[in-house]
Amino acid sequence: MTSYRTNTNIETRGRTNGDANKLSKDDAPIHRWYRFVLSFPPHLVRSYVQKFGLKPGNVLLDPFCGTGTTVVEGKRLGIHTVGLERNPIAFFATRVKTDWNVDPEALLDHATRIASRAFGKLEKQGLRFELKLLDHDQDAMYLPSLRRLAPDVEKLLLRDSISAIPLHKTLVLLDAIEAGSPSRFSAHERLALANALVSGISNIQFGPEVGVGPPKSDAAVVSLWLDQVRGIVEDLRAAREISAGFSEVCFGDARHMSGILPANYVDAVITSPPYPNEKDYTRATRLESVLLGFLNSKSDLQALKKSLVRSNTRGVYRNDSDDEWVEDNAAVQKIAQEIEERRIHLGKTSGFERMYPRVTKLYFGGMTKHLAELATVLRPGAKLAYVVGDQASYLRIMIRTGELLGQIAESLGYRVIDRDLFRTRLATATREQLREEVLLLEWPGVTNGHS
Protein backbone atom coordinates (compact mmCIF):
# COMPACT_ATOMS: atom_id res chain seq x y z
CA MET A 1 0.00 0.00 0.00
CA THR A 2 1.38 3.39 -0.98
CA SER A 3 1.93 5.82 1.87
CA TYR A 4 1.04 9.45 1.34
CA ARG A 5 1.00 12.64 3.32
CA THR A 6 -1.61 15.34 3.76
CA ASN A 7 -1.05 19.03 3.19
CA THR A 8 -2.81 22.35 2.89
CA ASN A 9 -0.93 23.74 -0.10
CA ILE A 10 -3.96 25.01 -2.00
CA GLU A 11 -5.69 28.36 -2.40
CA THR A 12 -7.89 27.72 0.64
CA ARG A 13 -4.98 27.82 3.10
CA GLY A 14 -5.66 30.42 5.77
CA ARG A 15 -9.38 30.59 5.19
CA THR A 16 -11.71 29.94 8.10
CA ASN A 17 -13.93 26.88 7.95
CA GLY A 18 -16.94 28.92 6.87
CA ASP A 19 -15.04 31.15 4.45
CA ALA A 20 -13.49 28.19 2.63
CA ASN A 21 -16.89 27.06 1.35
CA LYS A 22 -18.51 30.47 0.76
CA LEU A 23 -19.34 31.89 -2.64
CA SER A 24 -17.38 35.13 -2.84
CA LYS A 25 -18.79 38.24 -4.51
CA ASP A 26 -16.31 37.92 -7.38
CA ASP A 27 -17.33 34.29 -7.96
CA ALA A 28 -21.09 34.92 -7.80
CA PRO A 29 -21.80 35.52 -11.52
CA ILE A 30 -23.42 32.47 -13.16
CA HIS A 31 -22.85 30.30 -10.06
CA ARG A 32 -25.51 32.25 -8.15
CA TRP A 33 -28.27 31.32 -10.59
CA TYR A 34 -28.95 28.17 -8.54
CA ARG A 35 -26.57 26.45 -6.15
CA PHE A 36 -26.69 23.69 -3.53
CA VAL A 37 -26.01 25.11 -0.09
CA LEU A 38 -23.19 22.56 0.43
CA SER A 39 -21.60 23.02 -3.01
CA PHE A 40 -17.83 23.38 -3.02
CA PRO A 41 -16.65 26.84 -4.15
CA PRO A 42 -15.37 27.94 -7.57
CA HIS A 43 -11.98 28.95 -6.15
CA LEU A 44 -11.34 25.27 -5.40
CA VAL A 45 -11.84 24.40 -9.07
CA ARG A 46 -9.44 27.15 -10.13
CA SER A 47 -6.82 25.85 -7.69
CA TYR A 48 -6.82 22.36 -9.20
CA VAL A 49 -7.13 23.50 -12.80
CA GLN A 50 -3.89 25.38 -12.14
CA LYS A 51 -2.33 22.53 -10.16
CA PHE A 52 -3.12 20.03 -12.93
CA GLY A 53 -1.84 22.42 -15.61
CA LEU A 54 -5.08 22.22 -17.62
CA LYS A 55 -5.25 24.20 -20.85
CA PRO A 56 -7.81 24.73 -23.64
CA GLY A 57 -7.96 21.43 -25.49
CA ASN A 58 -7.97 19.38 -22.28
CA VAL A 59 -11.21 17.74 -21.13
CA LEU A 60 -12.29 18.29 -17.50
CA LEU A 61 -15.02 16.05 -16.06
CA ASP A 62 -17.24 16.30 -13.01
CA PRO A 63 -19.07 12.95 -12.70
CA PHE A 64 -21.15 14.21 -9.72
CA CYS A 65 -21.66 17.68 -11.13
CA GLY A 66 -24.64 18.76 -9.01
CA THR A 67 -25.45 22.38 -9.86
CA GLY A 68 -22.38 22.73 -12.03
CA THR A 69 -19.60 24.41 -10.05
CA THR A 70 -16.82 22.59 -11.92
CA VAL A 71 -18.55 22.79 -15.30
CA VAL A 72 -19.33 26.51 -15.05
CA GLU A 73 -15.89 27.43 -13.71
CA GLY A 74 -14.13 25.30 -16.31
CA LYS A 75 -16.16 26.98 -19.04
CA ARG A 76 -15.23 30.41 -17.64
CA LEU A 77 -11.55 29.38 -17.78
CA GLY A 78 -11.85 28.39 -21.44
CA ILE A 79 -11.58 24.64 -20.84
CA HIS A 80 -13.71 21.90 -22.41
CA THR A 81 -15.84 20.72 -19.49
CA VAL A 82 -18.20 17.77 -19.08
CA GLY A 83 -20.74 17.27 -16.30
CA LEU A 84 -22.59 14.09 -15.40
CA GLU A 85 -25.64 14.30 -13.13
CA ARG A 86 -28.64 12.09 -12.36
CA ASN A 87 -30.78 14.42 -10.22
CA PRO A 88 -33.07 16.00 -12.86
CA ILE A 89 -33.33 19.47 -11.26
CA ALA A 90 -29.54 19.66 -10.84
CA PHE A 91 -28.99 18.41 -14.40
CA PHE A 92 -31.42 21.07 -15.64
CA ALA A 93 -29.71 23.78 -13.60
CA THR A 94 -26.25 22.92 -14.92
CA ARG A 95 -27.45 22.90 -18.52
CA VAL A 96 -29.03 26.34 -18.07
CA LYS A 97 -25.99 27.73 -16.23
CA THR A 98 -23.76 26.74 -19.15
CA ASP A 99 -26.09 28.22 -21.80
CA TRP A 100 -24.80 31.76 -22.33
CA ASN A 101 -26.07 32.15 -25.89
CA VAL A 102 -29.19 34.00 -24.80
CA ASP A 103 -29.84 37.64 -25.66
CA PRO A 104 -30.02 39.23 -22.18
CA GLU A 105 -32.13 42.21 -23.28
CA ALA A 106 -34.65 39.96 -25.02
CA LEU A 107 -34.79 37.70 -21.94
CA LEU A 108 -35.51 40.66 -19.68
CA ASP A 109 -38.22 41.93 -22.03
CA HIS A 110 -39.84 38.48 -22.24
CA ALA A 111 -39.76 37.99 -18.45
CA THR A 112 -41.16 41.48 -17.82
CA ARG A 113 -44.14 40.69 -20.04
CA ILE A 114 -44.66 37.40 -18.17
CA ALA A 115 -44.56 39.26 -14.86
CA SER A 116 -47.16 41.71 -16.16
CA ARG A 117 -49.48 38.84 -17.14
CA ALA A 118 -49.03 37.16 -13.76
CA PHE A 119 -49.68 40.41 -11.88
CA GLY A 120 -52.82 40.96 -13.96
CA LYS A 121 -54.10 37.47 -13.21
CA LEU A 122 -53.51 37.91 -9.47
CA GLU A 123 -55.26 41.29 -9.49
CA LYS A 124 -58.32 39.76 -11.14
CA GLN A 125 -58.37 37.20 -8.34
CA GLY A 126 -58.36 39.99 -5.75
CA LEU A 127 -54.68 39.54 -4.89
CA ARG A 128 -52.53 42.68 -4.85
CA PHE A 129 -48.84 42.52 -5.78
CA GLU A 130 -47.92 42.61 -2.08
CA LEU A 131 -50.58 41.11 0.21
CA LYS A 132 -50.82 42.28 3.78
CA LEU A 133 -49.77 39.55 6.18
CA LEU A 134 -52.64 37.30 7.18
CA ASP A 135 -52.79 34.73 9.94
CA HIS A 136 -52.27 31.28 8.48
CA ASP A 137 -55.67 30.13 9.77
CA GLN A 138 -57.42 33.02 8.01
CA ASP A 139 -56.19 32.23 4.52
CA ALA A 140 -59.23 30.16 3.62
CA MET A 141 -61.57 32.83 4.99
CA TYR A 142 -60.10 35.61 2.88
CA LEU A 143 -59.05 33.61 -0.17
CA PRO A 144 -61.32 30.57 -0.59
CA SER A 145 -60.13 29.73 -4.13
CA LEU A 146 -56.40 29.33 -3.54
CA ARG A 147 -54.81 26.82 -5.90
CA ARG A 148 -53.08 23.78 -4.48
CA LEU A 149 -51.15 20.79 -5.73
CA ALA A 150 -52.82 17.42 -6.19
CA PRO A 151 -52.81 15.56 -2.84
CA ASP A 152 -50.41 12.80 -3.98
CA VAL A 153 -48.00 15.39 -5.40
CA GLU A 154 -48.23 17.56 -2.28
CA LYS A 155 -47.15 14.56 -0.17
CA LEU A 156 -43.77 14.64 -1.91
CA LEU A 157 -42.98 18.03 -0.33
CA LEU A 158 -41.48 18.59 3.09
CA ARG A 159 -44.43 19.46 5.30
CA ASP A 160 -45.13 23.23 5.47
CA SER A 161 -42.23 23.97 3.12
CA ILE A 162 -44.37 26.54 1.30
CA SER A 163 -47.39 28.45 2.59
CA ALA A 164 -50.78 28.62 0.89
CA ILE A 165 -50.65 32.11 -0.62
CA PRO A 166 -47.04 31.88 -1.93
CA LEU A 167 -47.89 28.49 -3.44
CA HIS A 168 -50.96 29.91 -5.18
CA LYS A 169 -48.94 32.81 -6.58
CA THR A 170 -46.18 30.45 -7.71
CA LEU A 171 -48.64 28.28 -9.63
CA VAL A 172 -50.12 31.37 -11.29
CA LEU A 173 -46.62 32.53 -12.28
CA LEU A 174 -45.76 29.07 -13.61
CA ASP A 175 -48.87 29.21 -15.79
CA ALA A 176 -47.71 32.56 -17.15
CA ILE A 177 -44.23 31.21 -17.88
CA GLU A 178 -45.65 28.14 -19.61
CA ALA A 179 -48.05 30.29 -21.61
CA GLY A 180 -45.01 32.00 -23.10
CA SER A 181 -43.43 28.68 -24.11
CA PRO A 182 -41.91 27.29 -26.20
CA SER A 183 -39.41 30.07 -25.85
CA ARG A 184 -35.65 30.49 -26.03
CA PHE A 185 -35.92 31.97 -22.55
CA SER A 186 -38.18 29.51 -20.71
CA ALA A 187 -35.34 27.42 -19.24
CA HIS A 188 -33.64 30.49 -17.75
CA GLU A 189 -36.99 31.76 -16.47
CA ARG A 190 -37.80 28.43 -14.83
CA LEU A 191 -34.37 28.26 -13.20
CA ALA A 192 -34.91 31.78 -11.85
CA LEU A 193 -38.10 30.53 -10.25
CA ALA A 194 -36.32 27.53 -8.72
CA ASN A 195 -33.82 29.88 -7.12
CA ALA A 196 -36.49 32.32 -5.96
CA LEU A 197 -38.41 29.46 -4.35
CA VAL A 198 -35.56 28.43 -2.06
CA SER A 199 -34.16 31.91 -1.47
CA GLY A 200 -37.30 33.88 -0.64
CA ILE A 201 -40.68 32.44 -1.57
CA SER A 202 -40.81 29.26 0.51
CA ASN A 203 -40.30 28.44 4.18
CA ILE A 204 -37.23 26.32 3.39
CA GLN A 205 -34.15 26.99 5.50
CA PHE A 206 -30.62 25.61 5.30
CA GLY A 207 -28.39 25.46 8.31
CA PRO A 208 -26.66 23.51 6.64
CA GLU A 209 -29.32 20.75 6.79
CA VAL A 210 -32.50 21.45 4.89
CA GLY A 211 -35.41 22.28 7.17
CA VAL A 212 -38.61 24.30 7.42
CA GLY A 213 -38.69 27.67 9.14
CA PRO A 214 -41.61 29.83 10.34
CA PRO A 215 -44.44 29.97 7.80
CA LYS A 216 -44.65 33.03 5.56
CA SER A 217 -48.22 34.19 5.22
CA ASP A 218 -47.29 35.91 1.98
CA ALA A 219 -44.35 36.44 -0.35
CA ALA A 220 -43.77 38.80 -3.27
CA VAL A 221 -43.48 35.82 -5.63
CA VAL A 222 -43.47 37.62 -8.99
CA SER A 223 -41.12 40.38 -7.82
CA LEU A 224 -38.70 37.87 -6.27
CA TRP A 225 -38.70 35.87 -9.49
CA LEU A 226 -38.11 38.95 -11.64
CA ASP A 227 -35.18 39.94 -9.40
CA GLN A 228 -33.61 36.54 -10.09
CA VAL A 229 -34.12 37.02 -13.83
CA ARG A 230 -32.43 40.43 -13.62
CA GLY A 231 -29.43 38.76 -11.95
CA ILE A 232 -29.21 36.25 -14.81
CA VAL A 233 -29.46 39.09 -17.34
CA GLU A 234 -26.63 40.98 -15.63
CA ASP A 235 -24.40 37.89 -15.73
CA LEU A 236 -25.23 37.14 -19.37
CA ARG A 237 -24.16 40.65 -20.31
CA ALA A 238 -20.81 40.12 -18.59
CA ALA A 239 -20.41 36.63 -20.13
CA ARG A 240 -20.16 38.23 -23.57
CA GLU A 241 -16.63 39.30 -22.61
CA ILE A 242 -15.52 35.77 -21.64
CA SER A 243 -13.66 33.51 -24.05
CA ALA A 244 -15.66 30.50 -22.90
CA GLY A 245 -14.73 26.88 -23.29
CA PHE A 246 -17.04 24.24 -24.73
CA SER A 247 -19.30 22.52 -22.18
CA GLU A 248 -21.54 19.49 -22.26
CA VAL A 249 -23.84 18.07 -19.60
CA CYS A 250 -24.92 14.42 -19.60
CA PHE A 251 -27.84 12.89 -17.72
CA GLY A 252 -26.71 9.69 -16.06
CA ASP A 253 -25.41 7.66 -13.15
CA ALA A 254 -21.72 8.04 -12.22
CA ARG A 255 -21.56 4.26 -11.73
CA HIS A 256 -22.40 3.67 -15.41
CA MET A 257 -20.19 6.01 -17.43
CA SER A 258 -18.75 3.74 -20.09
CA GLY A 259 -21.99 3.91 -22.06
CA ILE A 260 -22.16 7.69 -21.82
CA LEU A 261 -18.63 8.98 -22.50
CA PRO A 262 -16.04 7.77 -25.02
CA ALA A 263 -13.02 5.76 -23.92
CA ASN A 264 -9.76 7.66 -23.27
CA TYR A 265 -11.63 10.98 -23.32
CA VAL A 266 -10.96 12.74 -20.00
CA ASP A 267 -7.75 14.51 -18.89
CA ALA A 268 -8.84 15.54 -15.40
CA VAL A 269 -11.61 15.17 -12.83
CA ILE A 270 -12.65 17.70 -10.19
CA THR A 271 -15.69 16.60 -8.22
CA SER A 272 -17.39 16.13 -4.88
CA PRO A 273 -19.34 12.87 -4.55
CA PRO A 274 -21.92 12.27 -1.82
CA TYR A 275 -20.60 11.37 1.62
CA PRO A 276 -21.79 8.44 3.79
CA ASN A 277 -23.58 10.79 6.16
CA GLU A 278 -27.29 9.91 6.38
CA LYS A 279 -28.25 13.01 4.37
CA ASP A 280 -31.05 12.42 1.89
CA TYR A 281 -29.74 14.70 -0.85
CA THR A 282 -33.10 14.67 -2.65
CA ARG A 283 -34.70 16.58 0.24
CA ALA A 284 -32.62 19.67 -0.46
CA THR A 285 -34.17 20.03 -3.94
CA ARG A 286 -37.60 18.54 -3.29
CA LEU A 287 -39.69 21.73 -3.43
CA GLU A 288 -38.42 23.06 -6.75
CA SER A 289 -38.23 19.55 -8.24
CA VAL A 290 -41.94 19.07 -7.58
CA LEU A 291 -43.18 22.55 -8.52
CA LEU A 292 -41.22 22.60 -11.77
CA GLY A 293 -42.47 19.13 -12.68
CA PHE A 294 -39.28 17.08 -12.37
CA LEU A 295 -40.87 14.85 -9.72
CA ASN A 296 -44.55 14.04 -10.13
CA SER A 297 -45.07 10.89 -8.09
CA LYS A 298 -43.66 8.68 -5.37
CA SER A 299 -42.39 6.33 -8.07
CA ASP A 300 -40.46 9.21 -9.68
CA LEU A 301 -38.78 9.91 -6.35
CA GLN A 302 -37.97 6.25 -5.80
CA ALA A 303 -36.49 5.93 -9.29
CA LEU A 304 -34.28 8.94 -8.60
CA LYS A 305 -33.02 7.52 -5.30
CA LYS A 306 -32.27 4.16 -6.92
CA SER A 307 -30.08 5.88 -9.51
CA LEU A 308 -27.82 7.56 -6.92
CA VAL A 309 -24.81 6.24 -5.00
CA ARG A 310 -26.24 5.02 -1.70
CA SER A 311 -25.28 7.37 1.12
CA ASN A 312 -28.26 7.26 3.50
CA THR A 313 -30.68 4.64 4.77
CA ARG A 314 -33.69 6.33 3.14
CA GLY A 315 -32.18 5.47 -0.22
CA VAL A 316 -31.53 1.77 0.38
CA TYR A 317 -33.56 -0.91 -1.41
CA ARG A 318 -33.91 -4.67 -1.08
CA ASN A 319 -32.24 -5.51 -4.39
CA ASP A 320 -29.24 -3.18 -3.99
CA SER A 321 -26.01 -5.00 -4.76
CA ASP A 322 -23.19 -2.42 -4.82
CA ASP A 323 -21.92 -3.88 -1.53
CA GLU A 324 -20.66 -6.85 -3.55
CA TRP A 325 -17.86 -4.59 -4.81
CA VAL A 326 -16.36 -4.40 -1.29
CA GLU A 327 -16.96 -7.96 -0.07
CA ASP A 328 -13.18 -8.47 0.12
CA ASN A 329 -12.33 -4.99 1.39
CA ALA A 330 -11.20 -5.60 4.98
CA ALA A 331 -11.21 -1.92 5.98
CA VAL A 332 -14.81 -1.32 4.85
CA GLN A 333 -16.01 -4.59 6.39
CA LYS A 334 -14.30 -3.65 9.68
CA ILE A 335 -16.10 -0.30 9.87
CA ALA A 336 -19.43 -1.93 9.10
CA GLN A 337 -18.79 -4.47 11.86
CA GLU A 338 -17.88 -1.71 14.33
CA ILE A 339 -21.13 0.10 13.53
CA GLU A 340 -23.13 -3.09 14.07
CA GLU A 341 -21.39 -3.81 17.38
CA ARG A 342 -22.03 -0.24 18.55
CA ARG A 343 -25.70 -0.57 17.56
CA ILE A 344 -26.09 -3.77 19.58
CA HIS A 345 -24.22 -2.27 22.55
CA LEU A 346 -26.48 0.81 22.56
CA GLY A 347 -29.64 -1.23 22.08
CA LYS A 348 -30.61 0.60 18.89
CA THR A 349 -33.31 -1.40 17.13
CA SER A 350 -35.04 0.86 14.62
CA GLY A 351 -35.17 -0.24 11.01
CA PHE A 352 -32.96 2.64 9.87
CA GLU A 353 -30.34 1.97 12.57
CA ARG A 354 -30.20 -1.69 11.57
CA MET A 355 -29.31 -0.56 8.03
CA TYR A 356 -26.29 1.57 9.04
CA PRO A 357 -23.72 -1.20 8.38
CA ARG A 358 -25.30 -2.06 5.04
CA VAL A 359 -25.50 1.51 3.76
CA THR A 360 -21.83 1.96 4.65
CA LYS A 361 -20.91 -1.03 2.51
CA LEU A 362 -23.26 0.08 -0.27
CA TYR A 363 -21.69 3.53 -0.31
CA PHE A 364 -18.11 2.33 -0.64
CA GLY A 365 -19.21 -0.38 -3.06
CA GLY A 366 -20.93 2.23 -5.21
CA MET A 367 -17.84 4.42 -5.17
CA THR A 368 -15.69 1.41 -6.08
CA LYS A 369 -17.97 0.72 -9.04
CA HIS A 370 -17.78 4.39 -10.02
CA LEU A 371 -13.97 4.48 -9.94
CA ALA A 372 -13.77 1.27 -11.96
CA GLU A 373 -16.13 2.70 -14.59
CA LEU A 374 -14.34 6.05 -14.57
CA ALA A 375 -11.05 4.36 -15.50
CA THR A 376 -12.54 3.38 -18.87
CA VAL A 377 -12.97 7.03 -19.94
CA LEU A 378 -9.70 8.43 -18.53
CA ARG A 379 -6.61 9.14 -20.58
CA PRO A 380 -3.28 7.84 -19.25
CA GLY A 381 -1.85 10.38 -16.83
CA ALA A 382 -5.27 11.85 -15.97
CA LYS A 383 -5.34 13.77 -12.67
CA LEU A 384 -8.30 13.61 -10.27
CA ALA A 385 -9.44 15.70 -7.29
CA TYR A 386 -12.24 14.34 -5.04
CA VAL A 387 -13.60 16.65 -2.35
CA VAL A 388 -14.67 14.28 0.46
CA GLY A 389 -15.18 14.47 4.20
CA ASP A 390 -14.78 12.35 7.30
CA GLN A 391 -18.10 11.25 8.77
CA ALA A 392 -19.41 10.04 12.12
CA SER A 393 -23.13 9.91 11.37
CA TYR A 394 -23.54 6.19 12.05
CA LEU A 395 -23.57 5.85 15.84
CA ARG A 396 -20.41 7.99 16.08
CA ILE A 397 -18.16 5.46 14.38
CA MET A 398 -15.53 7.51 12.53
CA ILE A 399 -15.41 6.96 8.77
CA ARG A 400 -12.27 8.39 7.18
CA THR A 401 -13.83 8.76 3.75
CA GLY A 402 -10.82 10.14 1.89
CA GLU A 403 -8.45 7.57 3.32
CA LEU A 404 -10.75 4.67 2.43
CA LEU A 405 -11.45 5.96 -1.07
CA GLY A 406 -7.71 6.35 -1.59
CA GLN A 407 -7.16 2.71 -0.66
CA ILE A 408 -9.99 1.62 -2.97
CA ALA A 409 -8.57 3.70 -5.81
CA GLU A 410 -5.15 2.10 -5.38
CA SER A 411 -6.69 -1.37 -5.55
CA LEU A 412 -8.14 -0.41 -8.95
CA GLY A 413 -4.83 0.81 -10.33
CA TYR A 414 -4.96 4.51 -9.52
CA ARG A 415 -2.04 6.23 -7.83
CA VAL A 416 -2.71 8.35 -4.74
CA ILE A 417 -0.82 11.65 -5.00
CA ASP A 418 -1.94 13.47 -1.85
CA ARG A 419 -4.76 14.48 0.44
CA ASP A 420 -5.09 18.26 0.71
CA LEU A 421 -6.95 19.66 3.70
CA PHE A 422 -9.80 21.85 2.46
CA ARG A 423 -11.40 22.74 5.79
CA THR A 424 -12.55 21.23 9.06
CA ARG A 425 -16.16 20.88 10.15
CA LEU A 426 -17.73 20.42 13.57
CA ALA A 427 -19.55 17.07 13.79
CA THR A 428 -23.14 17.55 14.96
CA ALA A 429 -23.26 14.34 17.00
CA THR A 430 -19.78 14.24 18.51
CA ARG A 431 -18.73 17.92 18.40
CA GLU A 432 -15.43 16.70 16.93
CA GLN A 433 -13.59 18.52 14.17
CA LEU A 434 -13.88 16.46 10.99
CA ARG A 435 -11.56 16.79 8.01
CA GLU A 436 -12.94 17.80 4.65
CA GLU A 437 -10.17 17.17 2.18
CA VAL A 438 -9.30 16.81 -1.47
CA LEU A 439 -8.15 13.32 -2.42
CA LEU A 440 -5.71 13.63 -5.33
CA LEU A 441 -5.33 10.69 -7.70
CA GLU A 442 -3.62 9.87 -10.96
CA TRP A 443 -4.64 7.29 -13.54
CA PRO A 444 -1.39 5.78 -14.89
CA GLY A 445 -2.98 3.86 -17.74
CA VAL A 446 -3.13 0.07 -17.63
CA THR A 447 -3.13 -1.66 -14.23
CA ASN A 448 -5.01 -4.59 -12.66
CA GLY A 449 -6.92 -5.28 -15.86
CA HIS A 450 -8.31 -1.74 -16.21
CA SER A 451 -7.38 0.49 -19.09
pLDDT at 75 over 80: yes
345-369 pLDDT, tens digit each: 999 999 899 999 999 999 999 999 9
pLDDT at 323 over 60: yes
Q: Are 222 and 129 in contact (CB under 8 A)?
A: yes
pTM of the model: 0.90
What is the 3-state secondary structure of 311-333? CCHHHCCCCCCHHHHHCCCHHHH
Q: Are 62 and 270 in contact (CB under 8 A)?
A: yes
- pLDDT bin (cut points 50, 70, 90) of residue 23 is confident
- pLDDT bin (cut points 50, 70, 90) of residue 182 is confident
Alpha-carbon dihedral sign for residues 18, 54, 87, 115: positive
In CATH terms, 6-92+245-277+312-443 corresponds, of 3.40.50.720, 3.40.50.150, 3.40.1280.10, 3.30.450.20, to 3.40.50.150
Q: How far is CA 347 from CA 78, 342, 350, 407, in A?
A: 56, 8, 9, 32
3-state helix, strand, coil in the chain (%, to 5): 45, 15, 40
Domain segments of the chain as ranges: 6-92+245-277+312-443, 104-239
1-14 pLDDT, tens digit each: 333 333 434 444 44
